[in-house]
Amino acid sequence: MIKPLGAYLPLSKTRLSPGSAFSANRTRDLNYLKKLDADRMLYNFRAAFGVKTDAEPIGGWDAPDELLRGHSTGHFLSALALAVSATGDEALRHKLDYTVHELRNLQRLSGGRACDFVTVCTPDDCGQEKWSRDPSVWGEGFLSAYSPDQFALLEQFTPYAKIWAPYYTLHKILAGLIEAYERTGNEEALEAACGIGGWVENRLSALTPEHRKKMWSMYIAGEYGGMNESLARLALLTGEGKYLCTAKLFDNENIFPGLSEGEDTFHNLHANQHIPQIMGAMLEYEASGEAAYRRIARSFLGHVFAHHLYAVGGVGQGECFREPDSLARYIREGTNCETCATYNLLKLARELYAFEPENAELMDYCERGLYNHILASQKPDGNEHETNAVTYMLPIGPGAEKEYSNDDWAFTCCHGTGMENHVKYPDAMLFDAGDTVWLNQYLPAECEGDGFRLDCGVSFPKGEGTVTVDAERDFTLKLRIPRWCLENPFAADGVTTAGRYASVKVEPGRPLVIPVRFDYRPRLEFTPDLTEDGHRLASLLYGPFVMVTFDDAKTYLTIPAQGKAEEIDGACTIRYGGREFVPMYRAHGRAYHTYFKVE
């Protein structure tokens, strides 16, 4: 077992200050979680186990006949756990505990050995009316919103869309249970998670390595989310090595070996099918101490940051990575930058940083993805059916306009991660290694650490204010200097600069007030390649923000290579090259442009 070099300040010790875009988004998300009926989220589970329910089913990918049903309930568990940790809301805690308890009761109905379950279906004859209705033969520990027939059909190499990623759905449920335990201490959630882990161990260990490799290679049907992550996490939580052994059964032998040697083995593959697998490799590193797993994660992020990343922090086109350094040629209206992919990249960068706290590049990415994709992914002015309406893709093509989910009938993968995204903004804000504390994200928030209080009074989006620290112990406070900064933003006695961090000694009884002023200037970020008609494209950034201009035109607009930014208001609206620009997170309800030809 390898331990991180410190710990992130938990959400329970961080309070977002009111008035910012972060707190407004979080409030909408919290209202949605309060609105969601737990019995509706349990409908498919009860129906699968033959337990009567009077609740209304939900829609989208969780409709009663959909093959991915149950995945949103897993996200619901994670989001509730995050929300309870972030706010202490007792009504949400009760909803979480109730949902976990009801799932655990259903799980207890599953009996027999997982490896003994046999489906009557075949790849050519797999209608749901043929699926098992007898939980007593499903295998002890099984818990899902449908019977194990989909898992058995995957073992017969049944393609998507006859089946749809059963281990992906199982991972969401497992991850939600683990989150409930880690964030709120719900012991019943850990029991249920261990039950699932035992079922998976019994089922998969009966297959040969060649059989599993072929399964995990299948497009979407073999997608398993972060099963290796959650199982390795179970190993860390329980100390039981069987969960680590089971996690390794999900190692993707098509991409892991090459990545460990520094190769890009994932281009042209489904992005969100593979990013969680890399997150799993990091947890396997922590649980096993095997250095190859960490090399996989570092190699993967290195390739993504250098060769696959759009300005907003998103990746891909049509849900897939493309060839390295091929960005301009794959910009399409509405089909770039799946929000789930950024959600998972942020988790991965956060996990790797815990072992490399001087690696400011990882936190630069977290700032970029958080400010320009996640914050920008929620609709601020929804109606009664759009409490937490969120994007699936974050479009960056010319004249694109954001499209959003709704509360009741658009339960997609990104709607699920969207339940989580907006209640955990400060999750990577402060990292405490004892003698050193790193402040990496400048969110307006009050933080209560171990032996210190830190008030980040930096205004958003202007980036001006103070960082105030009052401590009961000695430590060095390190403040990240974003890569886009041209000047040191910290003006105070005792603050020194070395590399990408400014440092100041914190001592008991000597409160510090550090003035902060981030100097925003316009800059262009060019794509490494040309469009199909031979043009190089650029995005316009202002400080940490990707800037967009409103225009219905479906062809690329042109902006100057050099120009001054004239601020129009206090919310970072600027005039550049004769056009008005706003940060991406403020672009809603109108067509906009993110990339431009350059004079």
Averaged over 23-43, what is the pLDDT? 98
Say if residues 587 and 550 touch (Cβ distance below 8 Å): yes
As a whole number, mean pLDDT of residues 507-518 equals 96
- Residue 27 vs residues 17, 187, 277, 299, 539: alpha-carbon distances, Å: 12, 28, 31, 37, 31
Q: Phi/psi of residue 575, each to 5°?
A: -110, 125
Question: What does the alpha-carbon distance between residue 48 and residue 64 come to, in Å, rounded to a whole number?
Answer: 9
Distance CA 540, CA 527 (A): 12
Indicate whether 502 pLDDT > 90: yes
Question: Which residues have C-beta within 8 Å of that of residue 509, sequence separation ≥ 6?
Answer: none
In whole angstroms, what is the distance from residue 22 CA to residue 495 CA?
A: 28
Buried residues in 78-105 as b, exposed as e (16+ CB within 10 A): bbbbbbbbbbebeebbebbbebbebbbe
Query: Cβ atoms within 10 A of the Cβ of 340, count?
Result: 23
- Has residue 297 got a pLDDT over 90? yes
SS3 state at 595: strand
Which three-class secondary structure state does DSSP give residue 525? Answer: strand
Please give the structure tokens belonging to residue 16.
Answer: 């977002």
Quote the Cα angle for 262-268-272, to 5°.
85
Give the pairing type, strands 436-439 and 496-498.
Answer: unpaired
Selection from 370, 367, 372 nearest residue 343 by Cα:
370
In degrees rounded to 5, what are phi and psi of residue 597? Answer: -75, 155
Residue whose tokens read 């988790």: 347
DSSP sequence for 441-479: ---SEEEEETTEEEEEEE-TTT-EEEEEEEESS-EEEEE
Output the six-digit token pair for 530: 């040309």
Q: Is the pLDDT of residue 498 over 90?
A: no
483's tokens:
């890569």
What's the average model confidence in pLDDT over 160-177?
98
Report helix, strand or coil for 40. helix
pLDDT averaged over every residue in the chain: 97
Taking the C-alpha atoms of residue 482 and residue 455, their distance in angstroms, rounded to an integer, is 19
> According to the model, what pLDDT value does residue 492 have?
83
pLDDT of residue 276: 98
Q: Indicate if the pLDDT at residue 599 is higher than 90.
A: no
On whether the CB atoms of residues 596 and 557 are closer than 8 A, the answer is yes
Q: Distance between CA 583 and CA 542 in Å, rounded?
A: 8
Sign of CA dihedral 411, 415, 417, 418: negative
Range with lowest mean pLDDT among 73-77, 392-396, 484-488: 484-488
Residues 377-391, mean pLDDT to the nearest whole number: 96
Structure tokens at 54: 């009077």
Q: Could you report the per-residue pLDDT of 205-257, keeping only the tens digit for each?
A: 999 999 999 999 999 999 999 999 999 999 999 999 999 999 999 999 999 99
Least confident stretch, 161-165, 227-231, 532-536, 555-559: 532-536
The pTM (predicted TM-score) of the whole model is 0.98
Single-letter amino acid code for the residue at 220: I
Q: Give yes or no for residue 395 having a pLDDT over 90.
A: yes
Q: What's the one-letter identity of residue 525? A: E
Reduce the secondary structure of 529-552 to three states and give it as a string: EECCCCCEEEEEEECCEEEEEECC
User: What does the block give as tokens for 309?
Assistant: 């990343």
571 Cβ contact list (under 8 Å, min separation 6): 461, 582, 583, 586
**8-state DSSP, 96:** H
Whether 517 shows a pLDDT value over 90: the answer reads yes
Write the pLDDT tens digit of every residue in 80-130. 999 999 999 999 999 999 999 999 999 999 999 999 999 999 999 999 999
562 CB-near residues (< 8 Å, 6+ apart):
none
517-527: average pLDDT: 97
Q: Bridge partners of 429?
A: none
What's the angle, vertex CA 94, arms to CA 90 and CA 98, rounded to 5?
Answer: 170
Q: Give CA 288 to chain center in angstroms.
A: 24
Question: Can you tell me the distance from the alpha carbon of 156 to that of 153, in angstroms, rounded to the nearest whole number?
Answer: 5
| Predicted confidence (pLDDT) per residue in 407-434, tens digit | 999 999 999 999 999 999 999 999 999 9
- Percent of the chain surpassing pLDDT 90: 97
| Helix %, strand %, coil % of the chain (to 5) | 40, 20, 40
Cα 220 off chain centre by? 19
Coil/strand/helix, residue 336? strand
Q: At a CB cut-off of 8 Å and minimum separation 6, what does 40 contact? A: 55, 56, 57, 58
Q: What is the DSSP letter of 426?
A: G
Question: HSE on the CB side for 295, CA within 13 Å?
Answer: 13
Residue range 74-78: average pLDDT? 98
Nearest to 188 by CA among 120, 106, 131, 130: 106
Residue among 181, 23, 203 at smallest CA distance from 103: 181
